[in-house]
Structures are given as structure tokens and as C-alpha cells.
Amino acid sequence: MQRLLKVAGIGIFLMMVLLIFPGSGVMAKTGTVNIGVIYPLSGAAGFVGQDALRGIELAVEQINSQGGITVKGKKYLFEIRSYDDEATPAKSVIGLRKLKDRYDIPVVVMMFSGPSLAVIENNVDLNILWTGMAMHPDITNSGNPLVIRHNCPITDTAKRVAKRLADFGYKQVAHLCSIDDWGRGWDQNVTKVFETGGGKTIAHEWLDERTDVDFRAQLTKIKGLNADALFIAAHDEVAAMITRQARELGLQIPLIHSEGFQQKGWELVGPKNMDGCYYTNNSGLPLTVADYPKNWPFTPEAKAYMEKHPNIARKTYAKAFDEKYPDKTMAAYGFVSYENQWVVNLAMEKAQTVTDPKAIRKAMYEVLPLKPELMTFGVKGYTENGDGIMTPELMEFREGIWRFPTKN
């Protein structure tokens, strides 16, 4: 009898512990997976990082609302652990170590090339898988076994940009690029492919996105060179300032933007000043009404064009975004991060591990392509060395919207 009473007392005690401390009991059924995110969340690149982080938040919220993932019979929910690196490589490395020490993250998601190049010198020692949208080719060419890029490298998009420049009959092109690793990568790769095809890059001008706001000196110099077109590698607000200042100076040549020119930049420039602009669409997916800033003035012809070029996933994403962030401007950085995070989520479940980065990386190959409603960015698979397989295209701004180019 005494033994039965003792056992009953232990049972009652354990039940009380679970009631008072529900997450600490031996019978807790749900675990937590900490996902590391190192983005610039403040400073000149803050909009880019904030939009990308919102994409991850939407993906995590959706999968958690569905009960998370099941690994070896146990349920896991995701928790985002973000760090603001201000797009600074040294701060990114510090952030990686802090996130590992505090949360034991198995995966880190990043976006800028300079910070990513610094981090991949340390992630293997810390047993962390790097993934994200950074485009510098050295990220996957380094031989790092814990790297997988959810984007194509600059080399892929630069080939398409350079080919289009040649297709359009341009012979002399000037460049105005961010002075960081990303911008230099764009400059080098577009130059190489364009000049191999017989074109000539007649100017290489530089800017610092963290501090520069006046680009009239560079633009005046370029105007005097009589270039056929100007290639620009800059992000949103800076790209918008360059576009407006170029037009104010009477520089009417086509402006060829990198993928960094997105919704926030379009909002700042406005449709009247964007005629003669192009931008790099890494995925080659059509744009929908949801891709544009709110209250964009669409003509009936523009709406008809978009109806002929649907994009189911982005419409679904835009609806979820507006519900969660009604006062925020949506951009394509969130599209990438959203899709990337879903791949990570599903790969963990496929690999049946939330701690083994090598197994997670291997499983990321196996979960692509995603279902149409989740494919907001358009990565179809990965190459052997971990680059996203995509179909980049240069979009032409015409009659108030971005269209696939009419020139061959």
C-alpha cells in the first residue's frame, strides 16, 4: 500500500510540474528549431533586410500554424533569431557566433555578398549551414560543404544582361556600381561577357550605398561620354536617386538596373520617370499587380497584359503580406526569403533532423520544385555546387509596367 501511495504521489507531482511549467516536463511533445537570420535591418540597406525578414516571418508563421514539422515522431515549431549586421562583414561574423552560442542555430539565412563571404570562412567550424540570396560567385565556388544558394549567381544574370545589351544593339555601355563585393561582381561579370561579344565598357564609376546621395558628378561624366546605355548596380532608394538625378541632368539613355531595383525604388521614382528603364528579374517569372507598390496607376492595357502572365504564388503571398503588414511596402526580397525558408522547413522534415546541417543541405535538393503556391521566387533546383537553377530575364518598363522585352 505504501508503495502504491508513493507511486501515486510521484504521478501527482509530475502532473503539477507540467501544469505549472508546461514547457519543462519530460512529456513535452513540441520542440523548437531556432533559425538564424543575419540581415541589415537598419541603415541604408534596412528596407532590403526588413522586407526579406518579413518573408521569413510569413513562412514560419504559416508552417507553425499547420503544426510545424514532425521529426522522428516529435513535433517542432520554428523560432526566428535575427541579428542586424548593417550589411557589414565584421558584424556578420560576430552575429554568427552570437547566434550559435545563444541559440545553437543549425542554419543561417543571409542576403548580401560581402557579409556572406566573411561568414562562410567560419560556418563550417561552427557546424552551421549557410543559405540565402547573396549572388557573388565565390560563395559557392569556395568549396564550402555547408553552403547552398537560394538564388542564381551574378555570373548567370550577368550573362543574360550582357546578351540583352548586345541584342539591343548597344556598343558602348557605362557602369555605375556599388563599391562592395556585390557591386564589383556585377561590374566585372557584365563587362567580361559584354566585351567578349564585341561591346565596350567605357566607364566604371562607383558609389557607396551607405553614405552617398548625390551622383551628379558620376552621371555628368557618363553623359559626356555618349554611352549607349548605363548599367546600375544599386538597391532601391539609391537606385531611385540615381534614376531621378540622371533624368534631371537630361541623361535620356536606357538605364539598365540590377535586381536591386525593386518596389521601394519604383515607388520613389514613379512611372513617369521609369520609361527607358530595365531591371534584372532573376527568376524570369512574370509580375502581377501584387508586385507593384500600392496605388500604382495601372491602365486597362497593363492589367490585361498581367492577366495573360499570371503568378499564383505571388498573389497568395501578397494577400498574406497585406494582412500581416498592412502599412508596409512589399518587395521581392521577401519573395526570395519566403521560398528559401519553406525549402529549409521541408528539408528538415525530409531529412528527419533539425540539427544536422549536411543532411538538411542534401534534403534541400529533394524538396524542389516546391508546390506552385509556394514558389514565389522560382528556384527550380540546385546545381551540384549549390547554386539555384533559374531563368534570368531583363524586364523592360513600358506603358506603365514591367514587361518581357520586345527586342530580340
pLDDT in tens, 208-233: 998 999 999 999 999 999 999 999 99
pTM of the model: 0.83
Q: How confident is the model at residue 283 (pLDDT cuts 50, 70, 90)?
A: confident
| Residues 277, 326 within the same domain | no
Q: Which of 257-266, 345-354, 355-364 has the lowest mean pLDDT?
A: 257-266
Give 388's DSSP letter.
B
| Residues 148, 159 within the same domain | no
Q: Is 404 among the domain residues?
A: no
| Residues 195, 143 within the same domain | no
| Residues 194, 211 within the same domain | yes
Q: Is 347 among the domain residues?
A: yes
| Residues 172, 202 within the same domain | yes
Question: How far is 400 from 398, CA to CA, in rounded Å?
Answer: 6
3-class DSSP state for residue 375?
coil
Q: What total number of domains does the chain contain?
A: 2
Mean pLDDT of the chain: 91
Q: Provide the domain limits for residue 231.
A: 155-281
Question: How far is 71 from 159, CA to CA, in rounded Å?
Answer: 41
| Residues 260, 354 within the same domain | no
Beta carbons within 8 Å of 135's beta carbon, 6+ residues apart: 113, 149, 151, 152, 153, 154, 157, 182, 185, 259
What's the whole-number mean pLDDT along residues 38-48? 90
Residue 108's beta-bridge partner residues? 36, 130
pLDDT of residue 370: 95
- As a whole number of angstroms, the longest Cα–Cα distance in the chain is 100
Q: How confident is the model at residue 407 (pLDDT cuts 50, 70, 90)?
A: low
At 243, which helix (H) or strand (E)? helix 236-248
Task: Answer left, alpha or beta for residue 143, where phi above 0 means left and psi between -120 and 50 means alpha.
Answer: left
Q: Is 10 among the domain residues?
A: no
Give the angle 192-331-296 at the CA atoms, nearest 5°: 110
For residue 309, pLDDT over 80 is answered with yes
Q: Is 140 among the domain residues?
A: yes
Q: Is 97 among the domain residues?
A: yes
Phi first, then psi, for residue 365 (nearest 5°) are -65, -35
Percentage of the chain exceeding pLDDT 70: 93
The domain boundary, picked from 281, 310, 343, lies at 281
| Residues 144, 166 within the same domain | no
| Residues 53, 82 within the same domain | yes
Q: How confident is the model at residue 97 (pLDDT cuts 50, 70, 90)?
A: very high
pLDDT of residue 141: 94
For residue 115, pLDDT over 70 is answered with yes
Higher model confidence: residue 123 or residue 22? 123
| Residues 145, 191 within the same domain | no
| Residues 135, 165 within the same domain | no
CB-CB contact of 194 with 162 (8 Å): yes
The domain boundary, picked from 265, 281, 297, lies at 281
Closest by Cα among 285, 307, 299 to 370? 285
| Residues 147, 164 within the same domain | no
250: domain CATH number is 3.40.50.2300
Q: Is 95 among the domain residues?
A: yes
Closest by Cα among 282, 229, 283 to 259? 282
Higher model confidence: residue 291 or residue 129? 129
pLDDT of residue 294: 83
Question: How far is 344 from 263, CA to CA, in rounded Å?
Answer: 26
The domain boundary, picked from 232, 253, 281, lies at 281
Q: Is 405 among the domain residues?
A: no
pLDDT of residue 42: 93
- Provide the terminal-to-terminal Cα distance of the chain, rounded to the nearest Å: 90
Residue 393's beta-bridge partner residues? 281
Question: How far is 341 from 318, CA to CA, in rounded Å?
Answer: 17
Beta carbons within 8 Å of 2's beta carbon, 6+ residues apart: none
What's the whole-number mean pLDDT along residues 98-106? 98
CB-CB contact of 355 with 106 (8 Å): yes
Q: Is 303 among the domain residues?
A: no
For residue 119, pLDDT over 70 is answered with yes
Closest by Cα among 38, 50, 35, 43 to 331? 50
pLDDT of residue 165: 92
| Residues 263, 351 within the same domain | no
For residue 9, pLDDT over 70 is answered with no
DSSP one-letter string for 298-356? --HHHHHHHHTS--HHHHHHHHHHHHH-TTS---HHHHHHHHHHHHHHHHHHHHT-SS-
